[in-house]
């Protein structure tokens, strides 16, 4: 499934956020290479989907586009990545930080996507502007809505 147009990319991000692994996997080349924001490197669709399953066992993860430049062979995306801990998590789970159940983290992620034959061939992520919220101090829904308002009001897609 190709995601190098805006409508399809939004479907991809929703499937990613909803942990629909078969659908998400259909967007990746079998030998995709991904440099994650924490500088972990994952090679291969199967390995990346396993990484997602491990992450989603600990966190609810929601992605929201802030800005996007889509081209046939590469795209640049700025997105909000919102993590809410489903349970207490050790420091190696995300960003070398321990999480308590209900704690929320917001990362602004900048990512360069490379495309080949309509599928994601590689992703290079850089993470910036990290904000952590105590359990019960906010909701992911409120943060995502705020992020989408920022994108809708200030970014031309």
Q: What is the DSSP string of 53-88?
A: HHHHHHEEEEEEEEEEEE-SSEEEEEEEEEEEESS-
Residue 152: band (very low, low, confident or very high) from pLDDT cuts 50, 70, 90: low
Quick one: pLDDT band at residue 143, thresholds 50, 70, 90? confident
d(CA 118, CA 27): 8
Higher pLDDT, 44 or 137: 44
What is the full DSSP assignment across 26-58? TTEEEEEEEE-TTS-EEESHHHHHHHHHHHHHH
Angle at 129 between CA 124 and CA 130, to 5 degrees: 95
Structure tokens, 32: 């995709």
Does the domain formed by 6-154 have CATH 3.40.50.300? no
Residues 87-96, mean pLDDT to the nearest whole number: 78
* Per-residue burial over 45-66, b = 16 or more CB atoms within 10 Å of its CB, e = otherwise: beebbeebeebbebbebbbbbb
- What pLDDT does residue 3 have? 63
Question: Where residue 107 falls among pLDDT bands split at 50, 70, 90?
Answer: confident
pLDDT at residue 4 above 90? no
Q: What is the pLDDT of residue 134?
A: 78
Tokens found for residue 105: 């983290």
């Amino acid at each position: 499934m190709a995601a190098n147009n805006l409508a399809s990319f939004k479907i991809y991000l929703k499937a990613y956020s909803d942990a629909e692994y078969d659908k998400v996997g259909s967007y990746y080349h079998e030998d995709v290479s991904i440099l994650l924001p924490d500088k972990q490197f994952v090679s291969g669709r199967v390995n990346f989907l396993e990484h997602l399953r491990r992450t989603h066992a600990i966190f609810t993860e929601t992605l929201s586009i802030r800005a996007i430049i889509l081209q046939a062979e590469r795209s640049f995306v700025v997105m909000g990545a919102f993590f809410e801990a489903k349970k207490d998590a050790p420091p190696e789970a995300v960003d070398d930080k321990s999480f308590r159940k209900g704690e929320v983290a917001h990362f602004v992620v900048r990512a360069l996507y490379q495309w080949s034959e309509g599928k994601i061939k590689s992703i290079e992520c850089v993470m910036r502007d990290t904000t952590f919220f105590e359990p019960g101090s906010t909701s992911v829904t409120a943060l995502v809505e705020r992020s989408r308002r920022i994108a809708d009001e200030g970014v031309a897609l």
